[in-house]
Structure 1
Amino acid sequence: MSSNALYTDLSTYYDLMCCDINYPAQSNTVHRLQQLLGNGGKNHLDLACGSAPHIRHFIDYGYQCSGLDINQPMLDLAKARCPQAHFMLQNMCSFTLDKPVDLITCFLYSIHYNQSIATLAQCITSAHAALTPGGMLCFNAVDKVTICNNSRVRHSTMLHDSHFQFESGWHYSGDGEQQSLKLQIIKTSAGQRQLWQDEHAMVAISFAQLQALLLPYFDVHILAHNYDSIAPWDQKAGNALFACIKRAD
């Protein structure tokens, strides 16, 4: 199976895999951060937008939304969900826009799909160029030094008399700037079992390194990875929410 199968061949299963994610809470938190820390503007771009579940909520908040993804099957699903939004087939590490936006989001740790620190730096530069003054880049990230290779997230659901079990987990060798996201899907239907396994190469970076990439362009707020309330990161947790405000030129 290709390393991108979930977002191409298996794209119809993507929303099932993510059915336990609280998209309204995540979207609402970032909307609040845009009002509190950003410039309050409502032109929005979602990087690695997938099937656009977050965009759906930002549209409901009154934003003019666009989405960017590298996989056309995901953009097809996104367009069906959010016909009001504009979608682009681009790589987030080197994207360009016709006009700047006020808010750029990148949910579900997708910022790590930049596969090296160099390409992540390009992504940050692209985002900075695409934002209006005072605009916000907001994403969540995992610190490579905290990754437990034995930790997995699992959930299951039913669809059309088929039982699906999903599993995902980070893996980091302990050295270098490459980590992987390992995914597994098990489908059981009428006693027949199908198994898919997928592994995605992603950038491994510490929060100290990430902050160093951001600070030349942004005022950086590192927040607790908690979508129920807005609070500072405790400097111990291995994941966090980054709210990065573009400085006025």
Structure 2
Amino acid sequence: MSSYGRFAEVYDALMTDIPYDQYIQWVAKFAPSTEYKKLLDIGCGTGTMAAGFVKLGYEVSGLDLSEEMLAIAAERLMVEGINVPLYCMSMDELAGFVNLDVVTIPIDSINYLQNQEEVQETLSRIYQSLRSGGQLFFDAHSLYKMDEIFMDSPFTYDDGEVTYLWMTEAGEAPHSVHHEMLFYVQQKNRLFERFEEYHYQRTYDIDTYIKMLQQAGFSEITVTADFVEEAPTEESERIFFRAKK
């Protein structure tokens, strides 16, 4: 499974366009902390959303496969005086959590799983970790984003301190993408350090995600798109799923 390495150092600077607050409010609307207290944030990354959930009254734990991401999250949470237990674990090996009220898998983290079997295993383990009536919230890249938008690379970025060249190519499996990213990051001595990262993502059509959720035992499945509570269209880029145990 792909995970973030050195990319973790520049992740926040490159993700300023993600409306984290909208994501948090989406969860809070359907699972308010007054009724759904214990929340596990899978793919918690640098801790931005975990901190936001704590501020709304949730008892939050964070989980991520990347030690680099968790190190940054730990520092952020410490500076903010927020207590969030952090765990380094692959989501398809989830274990040790019981009676959770809410589980989130934000910002296409589920697309880093290598195949459908790993996705199914992840959903089944989450179902087992939730209490009756608990809810799962996650989003995934749409087929349109994987097959069309990502194929328009190269993508470039330069803010004077971070520069990257992002190349993509279609993977062997349907609706999968190999990402090759070359970074130049300015250091304190004003010189630039070069490093590369390689990631792999795969997604599935909406019906397949629904079937996997149902197979895991979930019901009351709701599907929306692109941070708004509207039905997906052919050109939606991010598909949102909400399901209940």
Cα offsets for 1:96-117 (capped at 9, x unmatched): 1343211111111011111111
**Stretches of 4+ aligned residues off by more than 6 angstroms:** none
8 Å CA contact 2:144–2:235 kept in 1: the answer is no
Q: Do the aligned partners of residues 154 and 40 (structure 1) sit closer, same or farther apart at CA in structure 2, a change above 3 Å counting?
A: farther
Q: Distance in 2 between matches of 1:8 and 1:140?
A: 22
In the other structure, the counterpart of 1:74 is 69
Gaps of 5+ in 2: none
1:224 aligned partner = 225
Following the alignment from structure 2 to structure 1, what is the Cα–Cα distance between the partners of residues 99 and 237? 32
2:117 is paired with a residue whose SS is helix
Match of 2:127, as an amino acid? H
Match of 2:25 in 1: 28
C-alpha displacement of 1:27: 1.4
1:164 maps to which of 154, 158, 162: 162
Paired with 1:18 and 1:88, the residues of 2 have a C-alpha distance of 22
**What per-residue deviation string (whole Å, max 9, x for no partner) do you get for residues 95-147 of structure 1?**
11343211111111011111111111110111111111121111111233652
What TM-score comes out, normalization by structure 2 length?
A: 0.82
Number of residue pairs matched by the alignment: 234
Residue 172 of structure 1: CA displacement? 3.0
Which residue is equivalent to 1:179? 177
In the TM superposition, residue 215 of structure 1 has moved relative to its aligned partner by 1.7
- Equivalent residue for 1:50? 45
Describe the shift of the 1:237–1:123 C-alpha distance in structure 2 as closer, same or farther (beyond 3 A). same
**RMSD of Structure 2 on Structure 1 (CA):** 2.8
Identify if the C-alpha distance between structure 1 residues 208 and 171 changes in structure 2 by more than 3 Å, giving closer, same or farther: farther
CA contact (8 A) 1:165 1:186 kept: yes
What does 1:112-191 align with in structure 2 at a 5 Å threshold?
112-144=111-143, 147-148=147-148, 149-150=151-152, 155-157=157-159, 162-166=160-164, 171-173=169-171, 175-176=173-174, 178-187=176-185
Give the TM-score, by structure 1 length: 0.80
Give the whole-Å Cα distance in 2 for the aligned partners of 1:167 and 1:18.
16
Q: What displacement does 1:239 show?
A: 2.5
| Percent of aligned pairs sharing the same letter | 19
Determine if contact 2:98/2:128 at 8 Å carries over to the other structure. Answer: no
Is 2:178–2:200's contact at 8 Å kept on the other side of the alignment? yes
**Contact 1:145 / 1:174 at 8 angstroms: preserved in 2?**
no
**Secondary structure in structure 2 of the residue aligned to 1:215:** helix
Segments of structure 1 that go 5 or more residues without pairing to the other structure are none
Q: 1:42 to 1:235 in 2, by over 3 A?
A: farther
Most deviating of 16-25 and 179-188: 179-188
Q: Deviations over 1:187-243 (max 9, x none)?
A: 4679966554422122332222111111232221101212xx423334652421111
Q: Secondary structure at the match of 1:209?
A: helix
Instruction: Provide the rounded CA distance (Å) in 2 between the counterparts of 1:138 and 1:180.
Output: 25
